């Protein structure tokens, strides 16, 4: 079974600064996906960024980028030029690749990191 | 952009009552899910549904829970006899399920309060 660990329950950052959220995971799979989801106060789950494990290049999406370290099983999220609208709970999630037996594309989530962006 | 829609957005029910939460997944998606998030806790997988049957379920998904896709578009979660601990946000999700670059899309959630 896969596990996802987010060791920072809460973080805060000043507007316009950069912040990094940590995530580690444990799996015996070699092929999988990793995700960061954002959950604002409205509680909707919004995909921030996705990384395929077979890709060595780190994913980027505008101000959001990841540092994917496959050997260390680490997947951190960097938010640059933080904005007030980035205030939310951030969840790291793992999904087995389709070619892995019994994938079902099920997501396993970490406990989340509450990020507050201060003006 | 296509989206997953859920109804109701919020429901309050008496303990012991039956509740049905409804979802309309994205039309060309093949896999459907229900996840649960108790307030302040992480999002937990309940059940996945593919080809008109349950493909996987968690320990949480006991005999009180059931899912069905009655008409080819709606995907429902039924809780037969609600308990206080069923109070949570319930998310429906769907995914195409083919090819690379798959993304799971979530609905906006149904907040269930059992009193």
pLDDT at A38: 96
* Residues in A touching B97 (Cβ below 8 Å): 98, 105
Strand ranges, E, within chain A: 3-5, 10-14, 19-21, 24-26, 32-39, 46-52, 60-61, 64-69, 74-79, 88-96, 107-109, 113-118
Which of A19-23, B10-14, B17-21, B96-100 is predicted least confidently?
Answer: B96-100
Convert the pLDDT of each residue in A10-60 to its tens digit: 999 999 999 999 999 999 988 899 999 999 988 889 999 999 998 889 999
CB contact under 8 A, B102 and A107: no
CB contact under 8 A, B42 and A112: yes
* Whether the bond into B43 is cis, omega within 30 of 0: no
Q: What does the angle CA B67 – CA A35 – CA A102 come to, to the nearest 5 degrees?
A: 50
CB contact under 8 A, A104 and B31: yes
pLDDT at B25: 93
Tokens of B28: 């060309």
Q: How far is B80 from chain A (nearest CA, A)?
A: 24
CB contact under 8 A, B56 and A104: yes
Higher pLDDT, B109 or B2: B109
Residue with tokens 């995971």: A25
Over range B5-32, report the average pLDDT: 95
- The CB density around residue B69, as the number of other CB atoms within 10 Å, is 15
pLDDT at B9: 95
Using CA coordinates, name the residue in chain A closest to B106.
A45
Residue B22 has pLDDT above 90, yes or no: yes
CB B102 within 8 A of CB B96: yes
3-state percent helix, strand, coil for chain B, nearest multiple of 5: 5, 50, 50
Q: How far is B60 from chain A (nearest CA, A)?
A: 14
* Residues in A touching B41 (Cβ below 8 Å): 111
Residue with tokens 């979530």: B106
* Residues in A touching B101 (Cβ below 8 Å): 50, 52
Q: How far is A19 from chain B (nearest CA, A)?
A: 22
* Residues in A touching B1 (Cβ below 8 Å): none
Convert the pLDDT of each residue in B95-104 to its tens digit: 887 655 578 8
pLDDT at A101: 59
CB contact B25 to A (< 8 Å): no
């Amino acid at each position: 079974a896969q596990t996802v660990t987010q060791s920072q329950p809460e973080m805060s950052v000043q507007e316009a600064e950069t912040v990094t959220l940590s995530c580690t995971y444990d799996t015996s799979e070699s092929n999988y996906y990793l995700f960061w989801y954002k959950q604002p106060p409205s509680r909707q789950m919004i995909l921030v960024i996705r990384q395929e494990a077979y890709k060595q290049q780190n994913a980027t999406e505008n101000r959001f980028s990841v540092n994917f370290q496959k050997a260390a099983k680490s997947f951190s999220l960097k938010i640059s030029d933080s904005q007030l609208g980035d205030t939310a709970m951030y969840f790291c999630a793992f999904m087995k690749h389709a070619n892995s037996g019994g994938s079902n594309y099920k997501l396993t989530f970490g406990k989340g990191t509450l990020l507050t962006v201060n003006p | 952009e296509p989206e997953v829609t859920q109804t109701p957005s919020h429901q309050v029910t008496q303990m012991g009552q039956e509740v049905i939460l409804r979802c309309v997944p994205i039309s060309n998606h093949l896999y459907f899910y229900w996840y649960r998030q108790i307030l302040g806790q992480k999002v937990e997988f309940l059940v996945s549904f593919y080809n008109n049957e349950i493909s996987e379920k968690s320990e949480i998904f006991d005999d009180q829970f059931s899912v069905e896709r009655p008409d080819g578009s709606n995907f429902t979660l039924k809780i037969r006899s609600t308990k206080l601990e069923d109070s949570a946000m319930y998310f429906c999700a769907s995914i195409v399920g083919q090819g690379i670059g798959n993304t799971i899309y979530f609905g906006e959630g149904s907040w269930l309060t059992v009193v």
